[in-house]
Amino acid sequence: MLPPSLEIDWGRWLRPGDHLVCSHMSSQPRALLQSLLQHRPVMPLSLMLGVAFSPDMSAAPDAWQLQGLGAMGSGSVVASQRALSLSTLTYGAYEQVYAQALWPVDVVLVSLSRDPQGRLYLGASHGAALAAARRARVVLAEINTQAPCLLGSQWPADVPIHAQWDTAYAPPELSAGPAGAAEQAIGQHLAARVPEGACLQVGIGGLPSALLECLSGHRGLGVHSGMYGQAMHRLLLSGAIDNSEKSIDRGLCVIGCVAGPADFLAQTDQHPALRLRSPAYTHEALNIQAIGNFFSLNTALEVDLLGQVNAEAIVDEHGRWRYVGGIGGLPDFARAAMRAPAGQSVIALPARTPRGRSRIVAKLSGPATLAASDADLIVTEHGVAELRHASVDQRVMRMVAIADPIERPALLAQARAIGWL
């Protein structure tokens, strides 16, 4: 459902060539963007969407340059329908390019929330919009009465908002199908690796949910994560997550975004155990490395026999890269987790795609989002490959062992042809 229409005189606020920065993920300013699309000011504009959770801007005029952090969320839909310029930044660096004036910004569009006392908050997700707003000529805000107010994310009084409009609609959410048999098997493998008192970082989707469903019997778990969803919240409500063992932010789930349906978002409103923090905090290596038993779970499109990870693009039938993912926070969390005391960095993925293509490959078909030197644990439904201290031949044999059994002879033959065995 589209948000209610807003009547805005865009000619008052925009200039030709302006660079616009949007709040993103669950705080994507859909009402403002729908108004912008409806009025379609005839001028060249550049819009940084960050990580889009709604494909609204697929209908943007060709004269507008769209930018994104990747094709995660609804970014793949936008990228399939029009040009989308993709950044190669890790998510942890996203805020800093605006804070340090490395990227231009003229106008910021934000979707905020308001508490009963009239105080404004960043809504359901943090990002770079606040850092960009400090340098912008104009800040325009929609105040969404259905968005939650998360503690730690109050809009600062020293950043002016030049115009604001009230609106009411369910914030955009990511749709994730139920976990299948492969995801459930992976969840069981992973749960056996999660110690009591571990601090969790996971994404949104069937595979992370499968792991979290297996952790209901754990105690003393903590959260320091870019994403926070329903499965994680159930562990908080059940007492499995209490953040009692964290060495920093004890007692608090530190998160960068809450994502899910409206009834779940309502439960997070001013929840005392949740703190919304910026990418510069959630993805900062020094913070992650200070947390003992940090357990980082991320997914990928494919992993090669040395442990290199592609989380960004697949090759289409014409041999062209098609971006369906992104860099995101994968390198930030994976590298820092390996340096945390007793930390673990996991890349988990089913051994085959739904169309039957092997996800364990001799060589990546797309970009290397994570280098082999940053590989720790690779997990499929067939087991766990421990790569952190493994030699080349050991890596190959361990990766072949977690590939689909049908693919193993061909993978071994390719490894021998390359000279790894």
Report all structural domains of the chain as residue ranges with CATH numbers, in order of start.
Answer: 10-167 (3.40.1080.10), 181-418 (3.40.1080.20)
Question: Quick one: DSSP state of residue 252?
Answer: -
Helical H segments across 9-93, by residue range: 10-13, 30-39, 75-81
Whole-angstrom Cα distance, residue 403 to residue 303?
10
Q: 232: exposed, middle or buried (C-beta count within 10 Å: 0-12, 13-18, 19+)?
A: buried
Average pLDDT over residues 40-48: 94
Asked if residue 163 lies in contact with residue 143, where contact means CB atoms within 8 angstroms, the answer is no
At residue 83, the pLDDT reads 87
3-state DSSP helix/strand/coil percent for the chain, to nearest 5? 30, 25, 50
**DSSP β-bridge partners for residue 201:** 296
| Listed residue (176, 227, 187, 174) closest to 348, CA to CA | 187
- pLDDT beyond 70 at 1: no
Determine the pLDDT at residue 375.
Answer: 97
330-343 pLDDT, tens per residue? Answer: 999 999 999 999 99
Task: List the single range of 32-41, 311-320, 339-348, 374-383 with lowest mean pLDDT.
Answer: 311-320
| CA angle in degrees (0–180, nearest 5) for 389-392-393 | 110
Q: 401 is written with which tokens?
A: 């062992």
Q: Which of 21-30, 197-206, 324-333, 407-416 has the lowest mean pLDDT?
A: 197-206
Is residue 238 scored above 70 in pLDDT?
yes
Q: What is the DSSP letter of 179?
A: P
Average pLDDT over residues 176-204: 90
pLDDT in tens, 109-127: 999 999 999 999 999 999 9
300, 311 Cβ separation under 8 angstroms? yes
Please check whether residue 27 is in contact with residue 52, taking contact to mean a CB–CB distance below 8 angstroms.
no
Q: What tens digit of pLDDT does each residue of 359-414 get?
A: 999 999 999 999 999 999 999 999 999 999 999 999 999 999 999 999 999 999 99
Taking residues 40-68, what's their average pLDDT?
93
| Residue 348, token pair as written in the block | 């988990």
Orientation angle between helical segments 392-402 and 408-418, nearest 10 degrees:
160
**Is the predicted pLDDT of residue 178 greater than 80, yes or no?**
no
Total length of the chain: 421
User: Model confidence at 82, in pLDDT bands (50, 70, 90)?
Assistant: confident
Tell me what the mean pLDDT of segment 132-156 comes to: 97
Instruction: Report whether pLDDT(2) > 90.
Output: no
pLDDT confidence of residue 228: 96
pLDDT for 141-151, tens place per residue? 999 999 999 99
* Nearest-angstrom CA–CA distance, 68 and 44: 17
> Whose CA is closest to 147, among 119, 114, 108?
114
The pairing of beta strand 222-228 with beta strand 253-258: parallel
Identify whether the C-beta of residue 228 lies closer than 8 Å to the C-beta of residue 197: no
CA distance 309 to 301: 8
Average pLDDT (200-210) is: 87
pLDDT of residue 79: 83
Is the pLDDT higher at 418 or at 206? 418
Q: Where are the beta strands (DSSP E) in 159-273?
A: 163-167, 199-201, 222-228, 253-258
The Cβ of residue 274 has, within 10 Å, a number of other Cβ atoms equal to 23
The residues near 43 (Cβ < 8 Å, ≥ 6 apart) are 14, 15, 16, 17, 18, 63
Q: Identify whether the C-beta of residue 130 lies closer than 8 Å to the C-beta of residue 109.
A: no
- Please give the average per-residue pLDDT across 227-231, as a whole number: 94
Residue 90, pLDDT above cutoff 80: yes
pLDDT at 177: 67
- The pLDDT score that the predictor gives to residue 176 is 66
User: Cα separation of 176 and 158, whole Å?
Assistant: 38
The predicted model gives 242-253 an average pLDDT of 97
The pLDDT-based confidence of 263 (bands split at 50, 70, 90) is very high
Q: Is the pLDDT of residue 179 over 80?
A: no
pLDDT of residue 152: 95
- pTM of the predicted structure, to 2 decimals: 0.95
Beta-carbon contacts of residue 386 (< 8 Å; ≥ 6 apart): 376, 377, 398
Confidence category of residue 10, pLDDT binned at 50, 70, 90:
very high
Per-residue model confidence (pLDDT) at position 71: 86
**Spatial distance between the Cα atoms of 190 and 185, rounded to a whole number of angstroms:** 9
